[in-house]
Amino acid sequence: MGITKKERLALFEKAGGRCECRSNRCTHHAPGERCTQDLGEGWDAFYLRGSNGRAADNLAALCAICYKNIMGAWEIDHKEMIERMKAIRKSMSRSS
């Protein structure tokens, strides 16, 4: 799942070409303060409230470093769930 080129462009413009990360879990900038790094090439769209809402206000443009940090934090927070999903996937592939 991703966003369309048009959505991506709109997001980039909304962000003014700069990273919108404000997470206090991110180590790329002061906690809770906006990262102001230019988005550059490797930026990605991050869903603020899960992947259900595709509205523009549910998306934030993150620079490559923040994206990695946020995904890392998400994985730590959801470690148990991720492990459970992996186990389910494994048992499914075994039975097929």
Question: Rule CB under 5 A: which residues touch Zn ion?
Answer: 19, 21, 26, 28, 35, 37, 63, 66
Least gap, CB of 48 to Zn ion (angstroms): 13
For every residue of 41-95, DSSP letters joined together read SS-EEEEBTBSS--SGGGEEEE-HHHHHHHHHHHHHHTHHHHHHHHHHHHHHHHH
The minimum distance between CB 43 and Zn ion, in angstroms, equals 8
Which CB atom, from 75 or from 83, has the smaller least distance to Zn ion?
75
* Residue placing its CB nearer to Zn ion in the complex, 11 or 21: 21
Could you tell me the sign of the dihedral formed by the alpha carbons of 55, 15, 68, 35, in that order? negative
Q: Which is nearer to Zn ion, 36 or 88 (CB)?
A: 36
